[in-house]
Structure 1
Amino acid sequence: MDALPALLLSALAMTLIVGGRYLVVSGGFAMLTAWRFPGLYGGQRRQIDREIRWSLASAAIYGVPAGIAAWGWQARGWTQIYTDAGAYPVWWIPLSILLYLFLHDSWFYWTHRWMHRPKLFRVAHKVHHDSRPPTAWAAMSFHPIEALTGAVVIPALVFLIPIHAGALLAVLLVMTVMGVTNHMGWEMFPQWLVQGRAGKWLITASHHHRHHREYKCNYGLYFRFWDRLCGTDKGLGEFDHASRDPRASRA
């Protein structure tokens, strides 16, 4: 098969995968929310419809660099993705997962702060913050400019840093689950984790929800490292329905 048709087919396939993944995961957590907190998303039908439209558009943007990376791996061997677990020391597998997550988190933190500059916020990032309060469908609700900044990071890393295919799937799983659960409006994780030692460094819905309420704080994605280092961490937030949720965290 000629390179260009194969590349386009790979981009299309990855777009369908990203879009399908979004619908399944966000839809699943939306159903869980409806069971856990009936009526929590009441009155937000129009917002959810908008979140789904923006997210499916973002899926197409994410699909292009992902498709290029997948084609480069399979057809040209250009990437650093490997399938032989013995190609690198076993300890590299968990370390590579942490490294990818840290680098992704670092990219996200700084581009996210950049998106909060007044002009960029009005042009692009406002789309994401129009979800007030966010729902499980808001994880990929981005303007195309913002979607592009998020779409390039993991595909770029696979060209630079060796990672086992299974470890890459683990990174994508964490990225998908945390992206959805951090927006769904309630805390899925137990209080002992959120308010314990691990919670001082990991971001969950309690932390990210405060960003959506106050804007100028809590910019991270997975870890609170950059927020704490740069003085932008304002701690855990309170959900709008905190009085009904015994696990909701307070600042």
Structure 2
Amino acid sequence: MWTAIILSAVSMTLIVAARYAATSGLFAAITGRVKPGYHAKLGPQIRREIGWSLASAAIYGIPAGVVAWGWQERGWTQIYTGWNDYPLWHLALAPLLYLFAHDTWFYWTHRWMHEPRLFRIAHAVHHASRPPTAWAAMSFHPWEALTGAIVIPLLVFVIPIHVAMLGVVLLVMTVMGVTNHMGWEMFPRRLVHSRLGGWLITASHHQRHHEEYKCNYGLYFRFWDRLCGTDRGLSERI
């Protein structure tokens, strides 16, 4: 049993690392074409980002691997595979619930990480990326990575979700984590400045967090920032 659990954890760590490398590498390449020279003087910073991110991949991968083993071998979780196991409307609802729950957890833990002592101990690693790049999405101190690594593994025990929709959640989490750190806005201006865009977080919004620190703490949505008065709008630099 323990061998199978360890193999599952190692496999999931490799998957998380490969997903990070592929996604960040893709958007770093796009950045190189859209903004030539943006990364030219950031070599040492990018190497640090990759190092911290690969360490984070293990911290994310281990609990995910244990949960994956428990799902397949013991049926521990609420993950399901049959399209008719739940009403079809639940297919769309479940990812939204996951994203909102993850966003809520991220907002409050992220804001907590900006308390001076915790910032010095852990969150300063992430903010050492000046400017942030596509490689910085998982550049966390291990203590901070741990706070993020437990969310989805815990949610699968609580909220039923089809395995394909769980894949959608992980895709959104990965892509938004990377694109929000690129240092330039890849989404159309008409979306970013639209009524819908006013509730979504893109690079323009998150960049301001990296500029001013004490604002714009959200991950996917601006709901908590707006409700708590920490939304300072979009960066004027990108």
- Could you tell me the TM-score, scaled by structure 1's length? 0.94
Distance in 1 between the 2:176 and 2:39 partners? 19
Q: How many residues align?
A: 238
* 1:199 Cα deviation from its structure 2 partner: 1.0
| 2:225 match | 227
1:22-101 to 2 correspondences below 5 Å? 22-101=20-99
Map of 2:142 onto structure 1: 144
Equivalent in 163, 166, 191 of residue 164 of structure 2: 166
Aligned-residue offset at 1:238: 2.3
CA deviations 1:27-57 (Å, max 9, x no partner) are 0000000011100112100000000000000
Matched position secondary structure for 1:41 = coil
3-state secondary structure, aligned to 2:181? coil
Unaligned runs of 5+ in 2: none
Give the letter for the 1:141 counterpart. Answer: S
Q: In the TM superposition, what whole-angstrom CA distance separates every residue of 1:57-103 from its partner, at most 9, and x where no partner exists? A: 00000011100110011111100000001010000011101000000
CA distance in 2 between partners of 1:188 and 1:171 (Å): 20
Letter in 2 for 1:140: M
Quote the residue 1:238 is aligned against. Answer: 236
1:243 match:
none
Please give the alpha-carbon distance, in whole angstroms, between the structure 1 residues aligned to 2:7 and 2:121: 31
> When the two structures are superposed, what TM-score results if normalisation uses the length of structure 2?
0.99
Counterpart position of 1:244: none
* Alignment partners' CA distance in 2, 1:92 and 1:79: 17
Q: How does 1:187-206 map to 2 (within 5 A)?
A: 187-206=185-204
Out of 36-45 and 207-216, give the one that drifted further.
Answer: 36-45
Amino acid at match of 2:101: L
Residue 175 of structure 1 corresponds to 173
Match of 2:120 in 1: 122
**Residue 7 (str. 1) matches residue 8 (str. 2):** no
Helix, strand or coil at the partner of 2:54: helix
Residues in 2 aligned to 1:41 and 1:216: alpha-carbon distance in whole angstroms: 26
Matched, 1:134 2:168: no
How many angstroms does 1:182 deviate by?
Answer: 0.1
Q: Following the alignment from structure 1 to structure 2, what is the Cα–Cα distance between the partners of residues 55 and 238?
A: 28
* In structure 1, distance between residues paired with 2:157 and 2:16: 20
**Superposed displacement of residue 159, structure 1:** 1.0
- 1:98-142 residue CA offsets vs partner (Å, 9 max, x unmatched): 000000000000000000000000000000000011000000000
Q: CA deviation at 1:144?
A: 0.2
Out of 87, 95, 111, the residue aligned to residue 109 of structure 2 is 111
RMSD across aligned C-alpha pairs, in angstroms?
Answer: 0.6
- Mapped to 2, the partners of 1:107 and 1:65 lie a distance apart of 17
Equivalents in 1 of 2:73, 2:216: separation in Å? 41
